[in-house]
Structure 1
Amino acid sequence: MAALRWLLAAGLAVFLLAVAGTASAQLSEQQKDYYQDWLKTADRAEDAVKAGRASDAALEKLRSQVDTYRTRFDTVRSGNSERIKTLKSQLDALGAKPDDGSEEPEDIATLRDHLQTQLDALRVPRIISEEAYNRANGLINEIDRIIRLRQTREFTSRGPSPLNPDLWPAAGADVKQALGGLWNEIAANLKTDVVHVQFRDHYPAIIFLTAFGLLLIARGRVWSERMGAYLRTLKGGGRRVWAFVVSLSRIFLPWLGVVLLASAVSTTNVVGLRGQFLLDQVPNWAAIFFVFDWIGRQLLVLRDEDQRPLLSRVRMAELRVVIDLLAVMLILNDLLAAFNQIENVSDATRAVVGFPVIFLSALVLLRLQRLGPMRDMGVATESDEVVQHSGLSRFFLQVRRLLIVLGLLSVVAAALGYMHAAEGVIFPAIKTLALISIILIVQRFLGNLYGWLAGTGDAGRESLFSVIAGFVLAIGSLPILALIWGARSTDLLEALSRARQGVTLGGVQISPGSFVTFAAVFAIGYMVTRLLQGGLRTSLLPKTKLDAGGQNAIVAGTGYVGIALAAVVAVTSAGINLSSLAIVAGALSVGIGFGLQTIVSNFVSGIILLIERPISKGDWIDVNGQMGYVRDISVRSTRIETFDRTDVIVPNSDLISQSVTNYTRGNTVGRVIVPVGVAYGTDTRKVETILDEIANAHPMVLANPAPSIVFQGFGADSLDFEIRAILRDVNWVLSVKSDMNHEINRRFIEESIEIPFAQRDLWLRNPEALSQQKGSASQSAPTVPQPVSAKPMDLTEADMDGDGDGDY
């Protein structure tokens, strides 16, 4: 072992440089002493772990010392990373040494040796610190394991039952002796000259602290109530916010009075060692009582704020008393713990004295449950209507019921002698109920604050912000909850240290710091991209000659490129090396390619649409029988607004692979065709002249090329003509067509030109068959009138000649 120590110490020269940051001989000696101290501390910790006889306090102190060394070694083992990377890249640039036995050029060999020496010098401290770090980490884990094992044994240990009457006399004697010792100590101090001199020298400060403390205790809460009542009478949502802030003074002012009064008593030196130990706990006990009283007060405020009363005035007053009694139970438990530390009483006395406190605490919890669940805080209405809960409130309600059940079970455990288990359940349950109440009260305050600042009033309590605030408060309370239920602060610090180191996924080290860096850099890049898009869309591009489609393509392309660059920069800034995931990513890409080939096809088609621009935003197109205007082109689909104001989402691959009619591609010039028919015998030249005048007279029709009138031919019922004209804006084609039809109708009426409609002449081959059928039908008709079918006869299917073949 000694040889190993000196071997490690021999390599400390460079290690000391890395730790101390200097090459002076004096600092090197200091760092040698530092490392030797670490070896001694590690050996002492290993001996304590092997023996297992050290107290919890001694183990905690030893753990703190080892943790200090571990933190230092962790810093050193991760140092000089960039320099080592640079030296490795320089050595790689020199290439490998010749393997064929030939000698390397002297300059290159010298440079290689120099670089290798520097690299080894930097690696030595990292290797040594890595070994020391692992050793320290192992010792800390061993110490934590021993302490947790002791806590578990203590929690499950069974002592004498407090219900055994034989133990009561001895317990009463121990309590009497403790109180008598405290009183005798105070009485003895009052007779000493030290107390008299202390009071004579400091009586102005003692009188001031006493008077001011009593004033704050007596009037501080009254002042706070008056200010809170005044603020609640103010109009506007801010009154509740300020009332909540003022309500905190109900805790601070009386608590400050208790602190001043305890300081005054401590200054007199009238209390002895026992009294001073109890006096130091008085501010903590006062804080417990005032916080619980504040919780009950906030429930009354909630009753006044809600639309319907949560509880009646009488039951609300009872609820506040119950909450104050819970605070008293916690204070009594702490007092008994202090009593046990001062007198070091037996387990029997501890069980007998502590059982009444546990029993009364369970009764108070049971009464709290019978008062009914509160809305938001757990209250039922006066009509005993069960209020529906959801989300965080529902979860907290179930937790509250579970804690009350555990509190009742702790009475049984205490009666059987499991005092540590009973105390470790019922009092943390009370503290947990207080923590849940504080979380919900603070959440309500944040909702009121948001409603006041946002101008939404009471709606702020039901907003998304209030839900998110409640979730954040719940997550943030987890460390406090862990401490309440027996976790050590060192356990939380250890968990935080491990979280900072992160986890390794596929060879990639991901830590909270790298994740926060990634999120922050990406968020900044995303915001910069959106700002750039907004500037292009509103300021720069409108001043160019690009059409709306081109502007939309540039804005969209800028967004995709900006987000991609933001992701790359964020990954680089976070120090995440994705090269180790290349093989996994390659395998996944094959599966993704097969499973998401349609989405990938649409994505590529969207990029083609933005670059090639066969269609643009605002174009009038016809695809798959859907006609309308292009309103938005994204990477996966295109949104078309039809003429009946409905949106049709068309995959981009359909716009690339299928035929698309674009009526406004490049320009809005388009043609309108207006068909019209006139009766046979009409002067066709006259009709042509009228139609030409109508076409040229419309303001949307271009003069060049001039409109044309086409005599299509001889139809079955009419002479068919068409007006074919080029419009300035084809988007008005329906309006132009309607205008021309109105004008054609007016002019044809003036010129007495007939617009024919379809006519048919029906010839019957043998009409006598109808007469015969009519006669036979009249002879066979019943005397009672029968309903006649409203369906007309289909002459094409009638058997007119009576031969049964259906012809006519």
Structure 2
Amino acid sequence: MLNRFVTGLLALLLLCTLPAFAQPSPSQTGDSITLPLPADGATLEQLNDQLDLIRQKVSVSANADLLSDLRQAALLVQKQADTLISQQAVDIEHLDGQLNILGPEQPGEPQSIGSQRKALTAQKNALVDDQRQTNTLSQSARDLATQIFSLRRSLFDSQITTRSASPLSVVFWSTMIRPTDDDLGRLRGLFDDIHSAANTALAPGKRTFFISILVSALLIWVVGRRLMEHLLVWLMIRWLPEGRLRRSALALAVGLSTVLTIGAATSLLRWGIDRNAALSADVLSLLNQMQTLIIFCAFIVGLGRALLMRSHPSWRLPQIPDQIATAIGHFPVLLALALVIIGTQERINSVIASSLALTVAVNGLTALAVSLVFFFTLLRYRRTRRRYGLERLPSFAGLIPFVVAVWVGLSLLALLIGYLTLAYFLTVKLLWMSVVAATAYLLIACFGDICETLLSPKQPGGMALGAALGLSARHQAQASTLLAGIGRTLLLFTAILLAFMPSGSSPGELLEGFTQLDFGNQPLGGLNIVPSDILLALAVLIVGMMGIRIMKEWLGERLLPETTMDAGMRASLVTLVGYIGVVLLGIVVMSTLHVSLTNLTWVVSALSVGIGFGLQAIVQNFISGLILLTERPVKVGDWVSLAGVEGDIRRINVRATEIQMSDRSTVIVPNSQFITQNVRNVTMGNALGVVGITLTLPLDTDVLQIRELLLQAFREHQAILDAPAPSVSFKDLTTSGLIISASGYVNSPRSVGGARSDLLFTVLGRLRELGIALSSPQSMVLVSEGTEKARAEE
């Protein structure tokens, strides 16, 4: 019942506000200012006239919407001028070709050829002159667009630092309840246009058609959405196999059905109004912008339904508990309603070019409404978690509520102290970034599931594709992982760009103005580092470090395990990629700070002195670490022996290498020792280990019986490899006995000790069963000559 009530209320609000749908008007007065756009293929004179008209409209008193339209018009003139320059260059090249065919003037040539040469030369000179003028026009249009941008930025700078009446004061509300006489006059003029358009649409002879269009739009909105959603869900269930692809496709289908049906309903209604009503320029602009607003609000609702999936929890993509999804399920709808209601008034103010006080007050009301929606949603989220004892969301998702809470708190604080424009910017940016983040999550999940289902050799679709193209399973898995990683990276990069790009006509410029709030822009020393550059460099550094970490995790856990590289090579490659990423990130940060190499001369000089005195060993170890990672004389996983230290290499860092010994202790060895000292790498050339046993037996022992006993013991041991086969050799024949040696191979030198111990137990036990004893060592007694004579006399 609540869903039906909200849907009906949204439809009722749409019907009530359709006549007043607003588009920001490029007008500072109540009269509409329209700029005729130059048609494709406009001449140089037409473009000059258009640029002169734009210059006439630019003024300090122009509002932000007018400046935005004028800047777009200037950029359009520049684009068409560049196109005209390209066409002129082609024409000049064609004339040059014709002149080359005619050649230079020759004595006695026909008069017709000379006349033709003169005519072509005159045409070429005229085109060259036109091209020069067109280049000047293009540069003028570019400069004008830059000036308009600077003017808009100055306007936003002045607005964002201006303190107005707080929502806690009476002045704030009286500004909206009791607008000025000038604002009331403009409102009456707009409502008169709306009333005239409504009378035209409902005139006899047109009334039936317009009402039928209205009913059809409502049916598409209410009934068509359900039918389309059910159809798409049925198709996804029938065509797609069970798994993540079906879930992501179902979420995408639910979101698209909401956006497409509402978009189709508003487009149909807009077409009906255009066909039946006589619209003024202001009303036409209102309809265009409000249609965009409705579709944007529908997009928010569709995203919420696609990600929360309250009616089908098993289809939900994010790991959101059912209790939380139910608690915040109405958040997208409430947010869309707030935007529709207050956004309509914003656009009406823009169209009538209302006073600055009324515009700022309505912007503050928008910030207040949206911030409160976010605030109460966070409050319900926290209460639900406490009530059901739920854990925080895993990974970065657990930080989202905290970041949003801080952001909303800053917005509300700015509202309470009277910085309404700053609060409006923070709120709009929060809304825009939330929509971009949710959309990016949905698309990234869907793209990854598509690659996994259609390309992975573990899935039926991937197996069929591999069989059709003749791809091996290993190469197909690598291609699937690589394609999924590239696609997700591009989507994530695009989402980051969109999140920080202007969301509408003002947030981008407001962000630039916010970085210059009374901080000063004086260079720091000779490095020309300004505070805004420091903030940007800090943001680049944080995002870059996160990107390097994600790249290393993706390489080490997803892509490289699909290859034939051993674990040591994979670890070395991941470490090397991390070092390269850090170096490139450092270059980007320095370029962001406008730091050149010449400005770092004193730093390099200080480092050279430091290296000469105390940092020489550190630099030596650093260079040695790079050599270890590139030449790979040792790698992660190798068993090495170095200066009395023997164990497995666990990690190769920039300065030192970690070696884990047999007792599980770790020894930190400087990298330079691996380059300057002798290192025994047990597992480099051959990963097999040799288990050897040497026995000394009495001279009367049956050596053939001992040979069979030893071979049988080696063959029965599960760690001894069949190839190379174990062997028994007769080492020597001495006075102390027979020396018999046996050897076998195990899969790793680390298994030699345990296997040798087991074989000794087995061999000694079987020798004891056969009654064969090992040869005892003989003792030698030395008797002096004098002692021997004394004993003889006795």
TM-score (norm: length of structure 2):
0.49
TM-score (norm: length of structure 1):
0.48
| Rg larger for | 1
